[in-house]
Amino acid sequence: MSLNLIKLCVGCDSVEDLEEWIAFRLDERRRAGEPVEQFHTTRMVPTRAAELTDGGSLYWVIKGNVQCRQRLLEIRPFTDAEGIGRCHLILEPTVVRTDWQPRRAFQGWRYLKIAEAPVDLGQGNAALAEMPPKLRLELAELGLL
């Protein structure tokens, strides 16, 4: 059975910001002759890696709402230059927008059960998919989404 992760997307104001950052980082890796893959580095290594890579995703909280996800492909623990254990979450670079789901701030990442994860945008309320992101944000801030 698959499992997901949820994490704050610090530094991004929108899904579009995240997509631009991913494209920039992939282009940097391509120019440097490094493997072209997208990853996120964390301090803690998930102990349930097999469940996460069995169809799980990393759900991103942007501006207080889960707004999108990326499929988890692999979990790669490593030790950094200072001898500290870390982990690369290897992600599919495609960002999938989801129905918005309010979330309070937290540190690090958390496991997110399949039943608690928001559905992909368009699978729930198709009208939300057509709504401009700024309008969705304003409605979410008013508690209407």
* Number of compact structural domains in the chain: 1
Residues of the chain with pLDDT under 50: none
pLDDT at 21: 96
Residues in the chain: 145
Q: Which of 70, 69, 58, 62 is nearest to 141 (CA)?
A: 62
pTM of the complete model: 0.84
Tally of helices (H runs) and strands (E runs) in the chain: 4, 7
**What's the number of CA atoms in the CB half-sphere (13 Å) around residue 2?**
16
pLDDT at 37: 95
Domain range for 122 is: 4-141
pLDDT at 143: 65
Q: Which of 23, 58, 53 is nearest to 40 (CA)?
A: 58
**What's the number of CA atoms in the CB half-sphere (13 Å) around residue 121?**
22
CA–CA separation, 141 vs 127, rounded Å? 18
pLDDT at 123: 62
Q: Give kind and range of the element (H or E) at residue 26.
A: helix 15-31
Q: pLDDT by residue (tens digit) across 72-114?
A: 999 999 999 999 999 999 999 999 999 889 999 899 999 999 9
